[in-house]
């Protein structure tokens, strides 16, 4: 499968040039096979691109601006959808490609999300367990923000109790 990037090699717009460079740069950096389809010098490319961008993806004037990205004949999207996919680390799915070996797949992400959720579900601690002595391993373990807040609250409660006891005497 070859990714086709429709672009204008002689565009007068700096914004369009930057967007085209970003798409092409990403594809090159990730060693993704692609073909640059110039719409400025090749009327067939321009007409093909305009005819194959879905109607709901065309701007109000009806003429889509480069870069437009296709996987063979299938429309992937324009720069904005490419950028969103890149921000969400979903470019390979956006392009209709399998993720490269060693990268996370959607299944890996879903499994990791589930594992993180399970880690967040803490079991309540009984008073008996709270009174157990701390082991060396537990003592060396880093303290979480939640534990620090609990300790601070306990210290404040202890200070308040001492102040009340002094006031009563």
Please tell me which residue, 76 or 62, carries the higher pLDDT value.
76
- pLDDT tens digits, 137-164: 665 666 677 777 777 777 777 777 777 7
160 alpha carbon, distance to own chain's centre? 47
Position 162 scores a pLDDT of 76
* Residues whose CB is less than 8 angstroms from the CB of residue 22 and which lie 6 or more positions away in sequence, other chains included: 79, 83
Rounded Cα distance, 5 and 2, in Å: 10
Helices 79-87/14-29 angle, 10° precision:
50
pLDDT in tens, 123-142: 566 566 666 666 666 656 66
In terms of Cβ atoms closer than 10 Å to its own Cβ (0-12, 13-18, 19+), residue 160 is exposed
CA distance 142 to 139: 8
Q: Which of 28, 47, 35, 26 is nearest to 5 (CA)?
A: 35
> In this predicted model, what pLDDT tens digit does every residue of 14-41 receive, in sequence order?
999 999 999 999 999 999 999 999 999 9
């Amino acid at each position: 499968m070859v990714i086709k990037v429709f672009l204008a090699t002689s565009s007068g717009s700096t914004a369009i040039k930057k967007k085209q460079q970003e798409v092409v740069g990403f594809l090159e950096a990730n060693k993704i096979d692609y073909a640059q389809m110039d719409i400025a010098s090749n009327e067939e490319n321009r007409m093909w691109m305009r005819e194959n961008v879905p109607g709901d993806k065309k701007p109000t004037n009806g003429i889509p601006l480069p870069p437009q990205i296709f996987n063979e004949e299938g429309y992937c999207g324009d720069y904005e959808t490419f950028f969103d996919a890149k921000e969400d680390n979903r470019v390979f799915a956006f392009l209709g490609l399998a993720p490269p070996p060693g990268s996370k797949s959607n299944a890996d992400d879903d499994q990791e999300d589930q594992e993180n959720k399970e880690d967040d579900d803490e079991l309540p601690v009984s008073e008996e367990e709270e009174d157990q002595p701390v082991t060396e391993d537990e003592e060396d373990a880093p303290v979480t923000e939640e534990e620090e807040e609990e300790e601070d609250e306990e210290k404040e409660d202890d200070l308040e109790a001492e102040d009340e006891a002094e006031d009563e005497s």
